[in-house]
């Protein structure tokens, strides 16, 4: 077997997988907020307990376990989070972040901020 054929096949498979992950889910933007202390230890929509130090989020748009890149232009910071809950329940908001994700973005002092949301993969 040609040794150059295997890497080419692997690369083609990786590119196909990446294309499927990005094409099927839309990029969005909107207001982000974060979970308050009252939710610590309570069950999320997928059955996990909310841990403020996990890099997770609530979204009504994306499927469970979708990884999202959330960029906060005001602070020029971004984080990667995983959808494990449904929400937010405030109509003007697009995503609820865990405390850790909001902290890393610099969102804690602001409480709510405009973010860009890009799905990484389902």
Q: Domains of the chain: which residue ranges?
A: 26-121
The whole-angstrom separation of Cα 36 and Cα 22 is 31
| pLDDT score of 36 | 87
Indicate whether this model's pTM tops 0.85.
no
* Angle (CA) 21 15 22, round 5°: 20
Q: How far is CA 66 from CA 62, 63, 72, 97, 117, in A?
A: 7, 6, 19, 14, 12
Residue 21 in this model has a pLDDT that exceeds 90 = no
| pLDDT score of 96 | 97
Each residue's pLDDT tens digit, 30-62:
999 999 898 999 999 999 999 999 999 999 999
CB 81 within 8 A of CB 68: yes
CATH 2.40.40.10 fits 26-121, yes or no: yes
The whole-angstrom separation of Cα 120 and Cα 103 is 21
DSSP per residue over 6-20, as a string?
HHHHHHHHHHHHHHH
């Amino acid at each position: 077997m040609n040794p150059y054929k295997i890497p080419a096949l692997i690369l083609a498979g990786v590119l196909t997988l990446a294309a499927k992950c990005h094409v099927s889910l839309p990029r969005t933007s909107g207001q982000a907020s974060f979970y308050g202390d009252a939710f610590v230890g309570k069950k999320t929509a997928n059955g996990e307990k909310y841990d403020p130090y996990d890099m997770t989020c609530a979204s009504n748009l994306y499927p469970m376990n979708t990884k999202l890149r959330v960029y906060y232009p005001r602070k020029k910071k971004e984080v990667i989070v995983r959808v494990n809950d449904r929400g937010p329940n405030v109509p003007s908001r697009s995503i609820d972040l865990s405390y850790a994700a909001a902290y890393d973005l610099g969102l804690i002092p602001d409480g709510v901020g405009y973010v860009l949301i890009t799905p990484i993969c389902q």
